[in-house]
Structure 1
């Protein structure tokens, strides 16, 4: 059973490594270096790789961007978790990612925060690859950076999200034009600009909020058998057919995605976007890949995450629950808790990220 863990403002933190169930390892984190330390149980033949906090400044936009995220996952990657708390104490997040029963890891996630003209912006994203990990990895590396550079990001966030999603899809396809592979990825992102929340979704990853204790989905899975999606696909000359589940052209079990060049005429990357004001009744966000949602209902996800005080422990518990309920997919989750008590003392930012990789064969 995963145990709870707490954010600390020191750079020594315990991490978790797993095969089928996590085991405890120690790791160290430094703001100025990227360290690789051997696991304390060398018989598992794995390494613990410690992530770092990266702060970059774009001199053209004066936008200071802090990235709170894991390293790129590779096929040997098994488990990653970490957390972060905002400097003003208004929110904290925890993230957890588990390869599960799959042979390879195709899930990626990203967490970023910055200040623009004195206003705090936070960005959270889940990217679930299919047919390979390249598309999901590309989104992690580029989507939020592209969004931040959109000239109307602060003035028309919804338009910026829509245009950035579709332009990033085009950029990815262009970057892969000489490759024979045809992988794709979902994207479910939550962007907080001041007290406004924008959720953009492509594919079957999902974002929900807890509002006064009730789970409310802010995205609807893009499945080929959805009436509006089926009509859109057929109007474009495509076909939706049953092949174990409903699939576009009998191939892809989602109707919108990044990548998937061969089906691009029908499988678009135009996101559905919802906007919410962050009132005091909104307590939590949960973003996850379908490895969670396939086996854990929305209401249960909120209930499980709320049993833990810290969001990192909540994200870990969701991962463990999905795995124990039979999820056969990669499972990745971000839990964001919102604190509306204005008297909360500011706390120093703390981040930990861990990831395991198999040692290369000699």
Structure 2
């Protein structure tokens, strides 16, 4: 996420240092064969639902479990990781790839969790792209999905649960941070409850679905020059101005984000949500930070991902492509492939 702190009346504490000399050999080193191992799992206990939920979590290292998983691979300086797994019912598989790229620091985070709640398979995928530091994005990775599934209406009213949880997590992050800091983060999440897909977005990370070979965006980048966003910001007393691109207060090049204390209430964390029922035309999802979307159009991303048999290979192909096309940002993506042949699609 690119954000300049030297422009406008409000200053964000951002330590981005562009670096253009990163060798492509570093990416090649990072994409050697992964190690197959038993998947990490852990147990969640929710006092609200009293449901035992076995979770597959990319952030864990190893615990008891029977589902196969690919451990994340990291290169020697920790700037690259990738991996993947599949749901136990075989209905989907996923892969992820995260690369520091030409940036001096890594501020992208991602999360994947798969559980069963009340007999319904629940899959959660998230991309969190930090700006002004990594702490907001890391906070989302650690807390957003945990809080979401504990919402009392998560299964019965997923849209409401997403909206309320996003805004509560934003408040929790601001309450937990030193008031002198102004970290922020996007969030683009795909939540699959049975065969019902919910995509919630804050900021300019993006989720795209391939449906019968056609790339369809399931989120719209929230930019200050969007007519509806400009109106919302100005009605709240904020200003949208040109400073190389359109920015809130001359500072932030997106109109919604977690954190960004100094730009509240103009920059909000209320998500825009789309929901769809999956059918056999739905082939795959691509979730990614803007390090990918800055240089790879939606159609290209879908075409590249479809051509790879495994979603992990597809995710790595996408990060590699974005890097070779000149992306100057961190690059993180998740590819989810749906396998409609494994079992019949059941309606909730």
Instruction: Say whether the fold is shared (TM-score over 0.5).
Output: yes
Q: CA RMSD in A?
A: 2.0
Which residue does the alignment assign to 1:56?
43
Residue deviations 1:88-140 (CA, integer Å, cap 9, x gap): 21100000000000000000000001101111000000000000000000000
Deviation at 1:22, TM superposition (A): 3.0
Q: Which residue of 2 aligns with 1:236?
A: 236
Alpha-carbon separation, structure 2, partners of 1:83 and 1:283: 17
1:159 aligns with 160
Structure 1 partner of 2:64: none
Q: Is the 8 A contact 1:105 1:133 kept in 2?
A: yes
Question: How far apart in 1 are the matches of 2:116 and 2:60?
Answer: 23
The match for 2:214 is: 214
Structure 2 match to 1:142? 143
Question: Given the superposition, is the C-alpha separation of residues 283 and 26 from structure 1 closer, same or farther in structure 2, using an over 3 Å criterion?
Answer: closer
Asked if the contact 1:63–1:114 (Cα under 8 Å) also holds between the matched residues in 2, the reply is: no
Matches within 5 A, 1:13-52: 19-23=26-30
Report the CA distance shift for 1:222/1:342 in structure 2 as closer, same or farther (over 3 A): same
Q: Measure how far apart 1:87 and its partner are.
A: 1.3
Q: Residues of 2 paired with 1:293 and 1:186: CA distance?
A: 14
Give the aligned partner of residue 290 of structure 1. 290
Query: CA contact under 8 A between 1:77 and 1:104: conserved in structure 2?
Result: no
1:97 counterpart SS class:
strand
* 3-state SS in 2 of match to 1:100: coil
Bigger drift between 58-67 and 288-297 goes to 58-67
Q: Which residue matches 2:3? A: none
Contact 1:112 1:123 in 2 (8 A): yes
Q: CA offset at residue 181 of structure 1? A: 1.5
Q: Is the 8 A contact 2:206 2:289 kept in 1?
A: yes
**Higher RCO, Cα 8 Å, sep 6+:** 1
Paired residues in the alignment total 305
Whole-angstrom CA distance in 2 between matches of 1:70 and 1:19: 23
* 1:83 alignment counterpart: 84
Contact kept in structure 2, 1:147 and 1:161, CA below 8 Å: yes
Supply the distance in 1 between the matched residues of 2:269 and 2:241 (Cα, whole angstroms).
21
Q: Deviations over 1:295-350 (max 9, x none)?
A: 00000100000110000000000000000100000000000000111469xxxxxx
1:263 matched to which residue of 2? 263
Instruction: Using structure 2 for the length normalisation, give the TM-score.
Output: 0.84
Could you say which residue in structure 2 is the equivalent of 1:127?
A: 128
SS of residue paired to 1:22: helix
What CA deviation, in whole Å up to 9, does each residue of 1:255-284 have, x standing for no partner? 000000000110000000000000111110
Q: CA shift at 1:77, angstroms?
A: 3.0
Unaligned runs of 5+ residues in structure 2 are: 1-23, 62-73
Query: Is the 2:206–2:287 contact (alpha carbons within 8 Å) kept by the matching residues of 1?
Result: yes
1:335 & 1:261 partners in 2: Cα distance?
32
TM-score (norm. length: structure 1): 0.80
Q: Tell me the equivalent position of 1:35.
A: none
Q: Is the 8 A contact 1:292 1:331 kept in 2?
A: yes
Task: Say if 1:19 and 1:78, in contact at 8 Å, map to a contact too.
Answer: no
Question: What is the distance in 1 between the residues matched to 2:134 and 2:167?
Answer: 19
1:214-260 deviation per Cα after TM superposition (whole angstroms, max 9, x unaligned): 00000000000000000100111110111111100000000000000
> Judging changes above 3 Å, is the alpha-carbon distance between structure 1 residues 27 and 276 closer, same or farther for their aligned structure 2 residues?
closer
Task: Name the structure 1 match of 2:57.
Answer: 68
Aligned equivalents of 2:343, 2:305: Cα separation in 1: 24
Unaligned runs of 5+ in 1: 1-16, 32-51, 345-362
Aligned to 1:319: 319
Q: 2:117 aligns to what?
A: 116
C-alpha contact (below 8 Å) 2:129/2:289 kept by paired residues: yes
* Cα distance, 1:179 vs structure 2: 4.5
For 1:84-99, list aligned pairs within 5 A. Answer: 84-99=85-100
Distance 1:214 1:139, change over 3 A: same
**Counterparts of 2:25 and 2:45, CA distance in 1:** 38
